[in-house]
Chain A
Amino acid sequence: MSRQHSDDEPRELSSPEQFVFTPPIDIYETDEGLVLYADLPGVSVGSLELQVQDNKLTLLGKVEPQIPEGARPLHKEYEVGNYLRSFILSGEIVHSEIEAKLANGVLRIFLPKAPKAEPRRIQVNTG
């Protein structure tokens, strides 16, 4: 870090990237797939990384410092940091069709299931 820390400024405030939180999530299943919601306050579309590799979905939300330089903390009840969480996807999820949307600090991911093969009737012809 090139930035100087002043003596009266707590270290964790001046370098929030050292905190990594596990964001709370909801997952529910529909007939079409799985829907996942994650609370990521402070994360913008540009600072969110979603990756699927070897059946593992990883979300990394980076929080940009939002407090102006020189602000003096008077009272602190929560810490600010990045968000990291990963999930193992079942084989029935179609990776190429995963959709994600981020609004007001909430990420919604839709994980579509591969359609089940319908039973197919085989016509038997008489000889």
Chain B
Amino acid sequence: MPIFRWDQSWNPLRDLEREVDRLIQGVEFTVQGIRMPRQYPAVNIFELEHEFLITAELPGMQVQDLELTIANGLLTLKGHRDSPVVDNRDIPEERFRRRERTFGEWQRSISIPDRISDEHLSAEFNDGVLKIHLPKLEEELPRQIPVSSGE
């Protein structure tokens, strides 16, 4: 269960509300106990001087199968990973000695802070690792407010 530890600027109340909703929807009660949902892909978020950086491990993804969109303060990552044996569909299940990797479609949304410039988002994908750069907005300069007398 991801617990968002944003700065104050990440609007903690909004994140908390969303996380509680997700918690209630996703929990499964099984014979072994309560199972918490785990989102895919797992992400790490870092803050740098001029940007926020989101990283995710997506081995086997192709750049053309990755879709990043931003709307209403939500960054949505979407994609699908095809099985490598797609081009050899005649390989029957009994030919597999091990199957530990997972395939299929996935989608994940991450709330982004208000003080980023979503006009200049950029992303790179190297060696199966996705990095999304969210540049911070230029801090507004202090502005003088003229005070007039009531005369």
Contacts and interface: CB of A to CB of B under 8 A. Distances in A.
Q: Do A and B bind each other?
A: yes
Nearest to B125: A104
Given A39-B101, A42-B129, A75 B44 contact: yes
A28 B60 contact: no
B44 A29 contact: no
B139 interface: no
A74 to B, nearest CB: 5
Contacts of A66: 55, 129, 131
Of listed A40, A43, A75, residue having the most chain B CB within 10 A = A75
A106 interface: yes
B102 to A, nearest CB: 8
Contacts of A75: 2, 4-6, 43-45
B57 interface: yes
B85 A28 contact: yes
Given A24-B101, A67-B53, A106 B42 contact: no
A100 interface: no
A34 B91 CA distance: 12
Contacts of A26: 84, 96, 98-101
Interface residues of A, number: 31
Contacts of A25: 98, 100-101
Interface string A49-76: 0000000000000000011101111111
A41 B95 contact: no
Interface string B35-57: 00001001111111100110101
Interface in B1-59: 2, 4-7, 10, 39, 42-49, 52-53, 55, 57-59
Contacts of A108: 84
Contacts of A34: 97
Contact of B46 (A41, A74, A77): A74
B43 A41 contact: no
B128 interface: yes
Interface of B: 2, 4-7, 10, 39, 42-49, 52-53, 55, 57-62, 84-85, 88, 91, 95-102, 125, 127-129, 131
Interface of A: 24-30, 34, 37, 39-44, 66-68, 70-78, 104-106, 108
